[in-house]
A and B are shown apart, each in its own frame.
Chain A
Amino acid sequence: MRTSKCDIVIVGVGGQGVILISEIIGRAALKAGIHVRAAETHGMAQRGGSVINHTRLGCIYGPMVPEGGADILLALEPAEALRYGRYLSRGGVALVNTKPVIPTTVTAGQFRYPEIEEILAPLRGIGRVLPMNATEIAERAGSSQAANIVMLGALSRFMPIEEALVLEALMDSVPRRYIDVNLKAFELGKAEVSG
């Protein structure tokens, strides 16, 4: 028996705003009257490290999505999409920001950063992959910092929550002076996966 309506795994690098996306989804779910469970990364792992957030909609059990169970994998960074690709379920959707954040292990010459196709191809073997340069799209909206909201806009097409509620939750969650940039980022992200 299925025990969650929609399981989402959000990954990225500390500082990219992974937790904010989950917070907005959670608030939107609350407005929709859907039970929601989430688990996030704090503390040591946050310092420039790789970050994973689990968000489960329509779920009353534990906060973590099992490996192979994510209906949606939302990656704010491409290498992180591959690192956590094992969470994606067969036939799931992977939304991937193609703009890399180069780890120090690469800048120091110890490791090689994979080509974008090396990242997307294995994901395509599992589910539907929707790549986009969310960072560049966010710049068009007015700030590269809003890449997470671009991705949220794209994600909104696949979540079982009314878009108006997601937008309400977005406006509740960001400082007033950034609302316009964020709304634009959301719209551009949504448009990216529609056509």
Chain B
Amino acid sequence: MREYLLGNVAIARGILEAGAGLAAGYPGTPSSEIIDTLSGIASGYDIHVEWSVNEKAALEVAIGGSWAGTRSVATMKHVGLNVAADPFMTLAYLGVDAGLVIVSADDPYCHSSQNEQDTRRYAQFASVPCLDPADPQEAKDMTVYAFGLSERFSVPVLLRPTTRVSHARSDVELGEIPEGRRRGRGFRKDPARRVSLPVNARRLHRELIDKQRDIERELESAPWNRLLLKGDVGVIASGIAGLYAEEALANLDADLSLLRIGTYPAPSRMIEEVVKHTSRVMVIEELEPVVEELVEIVAKRCNPELEILGKRSGDIPRAGELDLLTVRNAIARMLGMSVTVPEDLPGAESVPPRPPSLCPGCGHRAAYYAMRKAFGKDAIYTNDIGCYTIGISMGTVDTCLCMGASITIGSGIRFGGDERPICCCIGDSTFLHAGMTGLLNAAYNKSRMTVAILDNSTTAMTGHQPHPGTGFTATGEESVRISLEEIAKALGSGHVECVDPYNLEESISAFTRARDFPGLSVVISRAPCRILLRRKGERYIRYRVTDECVGCRQCVEFNCPAIEFDEKAAINQLCTGCGVCAQICPKDAIEVVK
């Protein structure tokens, strides 16, 4: 049977087809829909599905699952693997019991990420096999295969889809989903393999190194590596770049040798065949030159005369994502054929940009407005990862590095000798993910600054996943609902208050009190996400501008997509009735539509 599936939904399907009984993840584009999909159908299968508090927690839960004999998976975006790097790096020493798969979705071009790191490097770093799917079908099939591979060699296996696989859709041939029990026999005590004392770690490291050759031998004959030897010019391409290369060769009617790679360790014997067979080869892969480096090593041994074109030669870009045109032109240039240069339409360069913006009525905008009134434009605003980073045009986003860094970098700026007011902004989900340790660190080391927790009561940016502050689990079960106020107090902040950002006056005075507090203060600005409220069927009131408007533009400074300006202000149909502009207007010229 075939179905039209999103790449991530295909991966979720693969997890079910493989009989996995545990899935844990933290949301992050482009990986989120895997757990989203599984949580929606978990009740029909013997499977535990959770949104974990962060990626480290997710991976460790999945490790426990595997060690209890249950096939388990942890999902995250590429930078999430940094958070989970501590367990990940040692896990390969200790090994798995039932199959353990880690999905780490890469984001070439930073569509929705802060960097372009390449998960294949992590695989090399940890001596863990990695599968690099080209499309949703491969993503599903590789997921199923990965569990078996993991069990055969007692190693975790990485699956590395990219944005153009995770967020691609295609017709996918489905396999069977096994019925019945998915949970394993339970944890078996085996301290020699489960306790990373040095005496064990030294031995296990050697074992891991010894396994590599066998892993490579199996992967060499896996269906994801395909070799077609033809002319003495060749192309070696990995993952989705292999699809681009194949299409480019068809477009160009070019009869070249082609090796498509889908596994790591990469198939070095196939690479050797291409290297020996050709006089010139182009290596095409997204991001890091992982295959290219291997080709260089093999060529040194087997064919030192080989001309290698790729990133080092400047023929293939190392940053950003590839596409058909880039790949086709690179191959055409290598063959001395003409390239296609797309032209922009006249006028296209002056089309007004449409940068992502906070939604009309978003509580973050109101909080930023009040914060800036209280702290002023000279204050330092360290920021974090989430929807609120989009508020950069409000002047309250001075830094953004990684999950949780707003608070710790704020502390460092203070201790680095800057005496200006500091306001760190972090969302509720991000605070629970990686902000709590930063707050504790700030309290313990006596940071004098303010932390604003922008609480929209969901993980909005990635698709509104629940977290411990929402009181619900991934599968919609009621659970403990933790209080951000209580956590902030327990972690040692001396001044904690919660405020409704839509009440501008109260919000400004709350931020002013926090600014003046001679220690570590926390303001929780709480307003549920407007998108979520709309989905729950909430009806909004709307505002309009009356004839009293004098065109002073103060409401325009509020930066709301619902406010238009042409000599005088006007409010369009995007208004969701937060009412903050009415409080800003000095002429009382904004009123509720009756």
Contact = CB atoms under 8 A, between A and B. Distances in A.
Interface of A: 1-3, 13-14, 22-23, 26-27, 29-30, 35-50, 61-64, 66-68, 79-80, 82-83, 85-86, 102-114, 118-119, 122-123, 125-126
A43 B462 contact: yes
Interface residues of B, number: 56
Ranked nearest first, the 3 interchain pairs of A and B with the lowest CB-CB distance are A43-B112, A43-B29, A111-B352
30 contacts: A1-B250, A3-B250, A23-B4, A26-B4, A30-B2, A30-B4, A43-B30, A43-B461, A44-B29, A44-B390, A47-B358, A48-B354, A49-B354, A63-B164, A63-B168, A68-B340, A68-B343, A79-B351, A82-B347, A82-B351, A83-B348, A86-B344, A86-B345, A103-B354, A105-B354, A105-B355, A111-B352, A122-B345, A122-B348, A123-B345
B436 interface: no
Contacts of A110: 352
Nearest to A59: B247
B561 interface: yes
Contacts of A67: 325, 342
Interface stretch (B45-53, B238-246, B464-472, B491-499): B238-246
B559 A108 contact: yes
Contact of B347 (A1, A46, A122): A122
Contacts of B344: 85-86
B348 A1 contact: no
B187 interface: no
A111 B323 contact: no
A36 B345 contact: no
Contact of B353 (A37, A61, A105, A122): A105
A103 B352 contact: yes
Contact of B111 (A13, A23, A44, A119): A44
B325 A47 contact: no
B340 A104 contact: no
Contacts of B461: 43-44
B251 interface: yes
Contact of A37 (B170, B328, B347, B387): B170
Contacts of A63: 135, 164, 168-170
Given A47-B387, A85-B348, A66 B323 contact: yes
Given A42-B112, A44-B111, A61-B244, A36 B559 contact: no
Nearest to B362: A47
A27 B167 CA distance: 16
Contact of A29 (B112, B171, B325): B171
Contacts of B112: 42-45
B359 interface: yes
A61 B167 contact: no
Given A39-B164, A62-B243, 20 more contacts: A26-B171, A36-B4, A40-B169, A41-B111, A44-B29, A45-B356, A47-B357, A48-B561, A49-B356, A61-B244, A62-B240, A67-B342, A82-B345, A85-B345, A105-B352, A108-B559, A113-B352, A114-B350, A122-B345, A125-B345
Interface string B246-280: 11001101000000000000000000000000000
A25 B247 CA distance: 22
B346 interface: yes
A106 B179 CA distance: 56
Nearest to A31: B4
Contacts of B168: 37-40, 63
A61 B324 contact: yes
A30 B3 contact: yes
B444 interface: no
Contact of A61 (B243, B345, B559, B572): B243
Interface string B568-588: 000010000000000000000
